[in-house]
């Protein structure tokens, strides 16, 4: 993922370790769509069958953005709110199509 500097030039790419869950609280809301798309791509590449995306509870903006991406993504089999002990409605559990 690349980030723009104040002068609109790109800074160095940020490399994050890919695990079976990602917490979106550390990202700027405007970056969420790109982060989720890239995260899903990498999880599919690594053959994860199920992942968890923690979007938070708040007012529901990030939840709506994440759910829209998941609903339209061709490699997503299904998604639902996480069980209570894994974040409840503040996280989504996503089942992925693996080739």
Q: Where are the alpha helices (DSSP H) in 1-99?
A: 32-45, 61-72
3-state secondary structure at position 91:
strand
Tens digits of residue pLDDT in 9-58? 555 666 768 889 999 999 999 999 999 999 999 999 999 999 999 999 98
Dihedral of CA 4/76/43/88: which sign? Answer: positive
What is the pTM for the complete model shown?
Answer: 0.82
d(CA 96, CA 93): 10
Angle in degrees, CA 86, 91, 96, rounded to 5: 95
Nearest to 22 by CA among 10, 3, 39: 39
């Amino acid at each position: 993922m690349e980030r723009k500097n104040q002068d609109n030039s790109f800074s160095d790419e940020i490399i994050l370790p890919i695990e079976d869950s990602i917490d979106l609280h550390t990202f700027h809301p405007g970056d969420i769509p790109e982060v989720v798309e890239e995260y899903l791509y990498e999880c599919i590449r690594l053959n994860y069958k199920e992942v968890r995306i923690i979007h938070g509870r708040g007012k529901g903006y990030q939840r709506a953005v994440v759910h829209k991406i998941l609903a339209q993504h061709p490699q997503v089999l299904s998604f639902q709110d996480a069980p209570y002990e894994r974040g409840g409605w503040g996280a989504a559990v996503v089942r992925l199509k693996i080739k």
